[in-house]
Amino acid sequence: MLSGRTFSAFLIVGIFFALAFAPTFAQTKVNSTGTGGIHQVKGKVYMPNGSATDLSIEVELQSNNYGSLKLRTDASGSFAFENLAPGPYTVIVNAGEQFEIARESVLVDDSIRTPFPSQPVPKVLTVPIYLQLKRSGRTEQTGVVDAKWTDISKDAIHSVDKGNEAALDKDLGKAEAAYKRSIEIAPTYAPAYLALGKLYLTQGRLDEAITNLHLAIHYDPTDFDARLTLGVAFLNQKELEGAQRELSESASLNKTAVMPRYYLGLVFLQKHDTDLAKTHLEAAREMTGDHVFPLLHRFLGIVYAAKHMNKEAVAELETYIKQDPKAKDTDQVKQAISNLKSKMTNFGERSE
């Protein structure tokens, strides 16, 4: 995200806290059912104050192409979905009536080339989820009432809430009808277009998703979530210029958001612009602080290796393995580290 409701995208934006890594992944609850691939989406659920939750919370991974997978977090809030095929997914966390439902868009995309000699490389996407207390403006009847929508019909807002409930129950037809009903009642209500766009994105209906996300932005140009989600939709469509534009806008709307910077780094990697990929991935790393984000370090290692910054590449790839010792590409990454250290020795560089 990786919320903001970000890929929370990725999105998970704005607030990151230090945490101890080692004890958590040893206990991680795993759903290995998969969708016929080799990739993994994992993460951890945090309370609004940044502490790890000790509750057992249901986490759902939705995909229109492959259905949905569920599990419950372990005692430290960790979870992992394994054996995933490439494509768009949505992580949904419903922690109960006290908290907002958290949704994070995740793009599993294996199109980025890596320097590691191997068969297709498994990707591990890490999605931290930060719970948010329900806003004071939310009631059972009217949903979230932002000050900018005080003139919007309560029926339109309530219809979006009904759509969200139907989406959680995987009644996507009912959800779509509810969102469309909200738009009929209030044609300028941007959150309805955003909800509909997200629904279409999870269904792989990219053209319809992009159309509705554009409308959400038209009626609310400052909506970070809409900009971010549109950027993710363009990434799914391999429309790199559009993805770059919208992710840049979302980054400007929330300058502390990690996921826009991270995805911009991947955009520029795919455009073979390692200078800008480095700039954005380094910015994302700076924002995460001590927070665990293994894949960020992996891609930074790839960028540094491509730029012949061998010492920096080794450091990032070693951090990747340290943060995710069970990564499926560990052997390939270790070999890449060994090769980089050999180059450093040959050229008289120090490896430590």
Least confident of 101-115, 197-211, 316-330: 101-115
Residue 9 near residue 258, CB atoms below 8 Å:
no
105 versus 286: which is more confidently predicted? 286
- CB-based contacts of 219, cutoff 8 Å, min separation 6: 188, 189, 190, 193
pLDDT tier at 327 (50, 70, 90 boundaries)?
confident
Token pair of 72 as six digits: 């419950």
Q: What is the pLDDT of residue 112?
A: 59
pLDDT tens-digit map of 158-187: 999 899 888 877 788 999 999 999 999 999
At 263, the pLDDT band (50, 70, 90 cuts) reads confident
Strand order through the sheet with 39-46: 29-31, 78-84, 39-46, 124-130
141 CB contacts (<8 Å, ≥6 apart)? 154, 158
Percent of the chain with pLDDT over 70: 81
- Structural domain spans, the chain: 22-346
pLDDT one-digit tens code per residue, 132-149: 776 533 333 334 456 778
Q: 22-346: what CATH class?
A: mainly alpha
Q: Tell me what the mean pLDDT of segment 72-90 comes to.
A: 86
pTM to 2 decimal places = 0.61
Share of the chain above pLDDT 90, in %: 33
Q: pLDDT tens digit string along 181-213?
A: 999 999 999 999 999 998 888 778 889 999 999
> Which helix or strand (DSSP H or E) is residue 303 part of?
helix 294-306
The reported pLDDT for the residue numbered 4 is: 36
